[in-house]
Amino acid sequence: MIFLRRHLHEELKIEYLTIKDPLILWQNLKERYKNQKLVIILKTRYDWIHLWLQDFKSISEYNSAMFNISSKLKLYGNNITDDDMLEKTFSIFHALNMLLQQQYREWGFKNYSELISCLLMAEQNNELLMKNHELRPTGSTPFPEVNATRYNNYDRGRNRGRECSHGRQQFNYRNYNGLYS
């Protein structure tokens, strides 16, 4: 009786305060909540049917929802296998990703965890590519100035460790490559 009362919600403790026999308390609680199993099963089946990959921001959120739903179904007697979870995941790819779905099917995943690992890796690679693209979109790289680069490289190599004012002639483009020698 102490165990039952300890784990009851406060409102239920007050409601069943007068019952002293643990068997009667258990039967009353069982009668009160016997329909909860049916309600939970129906809601979980609805969630399974309406589970879509595009409804989640990330693969890990989808994976969490998939395990939550499948564990509830297993708890209430509906056996969900890896094949069921694989088929569910393949069948809910967005219509624009049908080619990708076919490629994943052809890889022949045996376990749901292998598929999710592959999808997580692809998601991380896509995020990295998008971050790189946002930092510098394609075609936005400025072209280096050829003459300034050439001049700076030549000047650094020729006058290494010396100052230009010690009797040496300043670098002149006309004298470079022997054009005006």
Alpha helices in 22-80 (DSSP H): 22-33, 36-49, 59-75
H-run or E-run covering 112: helix 112-135
- For residue 76, pLDDT over 80 is answered with yes
> Can you state the angle between helices 82-91 and 112-135, rounded to 10 degrees?
40
Using CA atoms of 58, 61, 64, 68 in order, give the dihedral in degrees to the nearest 10. Answer: -130
* Both structure tokens of 98: 């049908």
pTM here?
A: 0.58
Q: Are 104 and 115 in contact (CB under 8 A)?
A: yes
CB within 8 Å of 78: residues ≥ 6 apart: 41, 45
Across the range 7-20, mean pLDDT stands at 80
Which of the residue ranges 25-29, 63-67, 141-145, 158-162 would you say has the lowest mean pLDDT?
Answer: 158-162
**Which amino acid is residue 40, in one-letter code?**
I
Mean pLDDT across the chain, nearest whole number? 78
Residue 181 pLDDT class (50, 70, 90 cuts): very low
Domain ranges of the chain: 2-33, 36-135
List Cβ neighbours of 58 (8 Å cut-off, separation of 6 or more): 123
CA-based R_g, the chain, Å? 35
More confidently predicted of 165 and 71:
71
Q: Does an H or E element contain 67, and which?
A: helix 59-75
